[in-house]
Amino acid sequence: MLDPGLSDLSCSCLMAEWKVERAKQHISDVEAITRWMIDPANYVVRSELDTQTRQYQLHIGPAGGGLPRALPLAIGDAVHNLRSGLDYLWSALERKANPDANDRRSTFPSHEEKENLVDLVSKRIAIKKAFPQAEAFIIDVIKPYKTGNFKLWVLGKLNNVDKHRLLLATYSIARFGKFVATSEDGGVIDLSYSSIQTPGPIFKLGFVTPFKLNDDAEIAAEIVFAESDLPPGQLVVQTLVNFAEAVSETIQAFRETFLPAPAE
């Protein structure tokens, strides 16, 4: 239960923290799914014959042939909760600054370019009057633009992708120890001690004739984001954890900036 004596701003900060906690539960789900996917019992290396091309293939990927649908759904749920927590903070300022506006579409400001963010925030006249520190706080402290606080900026981008386009895309990185495939015609593919970022969850290599792997072949895998707004090779779980930390830091900064210090 909420303390009825809490101000709207205090409630918004508290509920934003609840959103972060909920996001962390989804992140735990993502971690469990990815750990299951790359377990040696579920992430396989096998040879197979393509019946259409009649080519022998080395197949590396999830045993089921693709990613479980629960993975992108849990990722999206984590991203939504974190982003909506930020929206709670800004909408609380909107309501305090202009109680009659009831702006239901008020969202946390962010933009790819700092100049455009400045323009966006400067137009919130009511907030600027009620909270003179708000503009400098957002632009110079929180910095939710691409070259500022990248985590907050890209969190908003990924949230929009998941809400309005498609589920967030992931793929895998295969990391090899000793790994040599030798075909009957003498062809050799040596991937030993290399890493391959696959275009999807499955990586395939083709051979004209049957082949075999070295008996001590070694492989490990990691699940990474495929979204173009993120640098290549970003591990899914760690990236989500980083997002959660960035939102928690923002909530604390809002509390320190806009809420009076408790009386001693």
Distance of CA 134 to the CA centre of its chain: 27
User: Is position 263 within any domain?
Assistant: no
User: Is position 3 within any domain?
Assistant: no
226-247 pLDDT, tens digit per residue, is 999 999 889 999 999 999 999 9
**How many folded domains does the chain comprise?**
1
Do 177 and 201 contact (CB within 8 A), yes or no? Answer: no
> What does the H/E/C string look like for the chain?
CCCCCCCHHHHHHHHHHHHHHHHHHHHHHHHHHHHHHCCCCCEEEEEEEECCCCEEEEEEEECCCCCCCHHHHHHHHHHHHHHHHHHHHHHHHHHHHCCCCCCCCCCCCCECCHHHHHHHHHCCHHHHHHCCCHHHHHHHHHCCECCCCHHHHHHHHHHHHHHHCCCCCEEEEEEECCCEEEECCCCEEECCCCEEECCCCCEEEEECCCEEECCCCCEEEEEEECCCCCCCCCEHHHHHHHHHHHHHHHHHHHHHHHCCCCCC
Distance CA(81)–CA(77), nearest Å, equals: 6
Residue-number span of the structural domain to which 252 is assigned: 8-99+107-258
pLDDT in the model for residue 200? 77
Residue 157 has pLDDT above 50, yes or no: yes
Report the chain's mean pLDDT, rounded to a whole number. Answer: 89
pLDDT in the model for residue 42? 85
> What does the H/E/C string look like for 86-146?
HHHHHHHHHHHHCCCCCCCCCCCCCECCHHHHHHHHHCCHHHHHHCCCHHHHHHHHHCCEC
Distance of CA 74 to the CA centre of its chain: 10
User: Is position 178 within any domain?
Assistant: yes
Residue 203 has pLDDT above 50, yes or no: yes
Query: Where do we find the tokens 């990613």?
Result: 67
Residue 206 — very low, low, confident or very high, per pLDDT cuts 50/70/90?
confident
13-62 pLDDT, tens digit per residue, is 999 999 999 999 999 999 999 999 888 888 888 888 888 888 898 888 88
User: Is position 117 within any domain?
Assistant: yes
pLDDT in the model for residue 187? 87
Residue 261 has pLDDT above 70, yes or no: no
Residue 155 neighbours by CB under 8 Å, 6+ apart: 79, 82, 83, 86, 243, 246, 247
User: Is position 160 within any domain?
Assistant: yes
Single-letter code of the amino acid located at 207: F
User: Is position 2 within any domain?
Assistant: no
Residue 198 has pLDDT above 50, yes or no: yes
User: Is position 159 within any domain?
Assistant: yes
User: Is position 1 within any domain?
Assistant: no
Distance CA(14)–CA(251), nearest Å, equals: 9
Distance CA(96)–CA(130), nearest Å, equals: 8
Distance CA(200)–CA(89), nearest Å, equals: 37
Q: Which pTM was predicted?
A: 0.88
Q: Could you tell me what percent of the chain has a pLDDT over 70?
A: 94
Residue 102 — very low, low, confident or very high, per pLDDT cuts 50/70/90?
low
